[in-house]
Amino acid sequence: MTTLTPELLATLKQLSPEDKGVVRDLLDEDDPPPGRSGEEEAAEIGRRAAMVASGNYVSLSREEAEQQVREAIRKLGVEL
């Protein structure tokens, strides 16, 4: 059961979307982001660095990357 008072709940429900976002951000500050552990992230960074060092990495130009992003957005039904 919640320890929030009915008054506090009512106040929270009346907040603007922007203020609700501020409250969400405040509450999320203490929670770690979902995803990989620090060790997993370090391993991935090491793997990618090794790919670049060995020459087995193909990079995109900014224009190519932007084009891929635009195409992905269009596939979602959003026209730019």
Helices (H), 1-80: 6-13, 17-28, 38-54, 62-75
46 — pLDDT class (breaks 50, 70, 90): very high
Higher-confidence residue: 52 or 30?
A: 52
User: For the stretch 35-67, what's the b/e string if a residue is b when 16 or more beta carbons lie within 10 angstroms of its beta carbon?
Assistant: eeeeeeeeeeeeeeeeeeeeeeeeeeeeeeeee
Q: Each residue of 33-44: pLDDT tens digit?
A: 677 788 888 899
- Mean pLDDT over 19-42 rounds to 80
Q: What is the pTM of this model?
A: 0.37
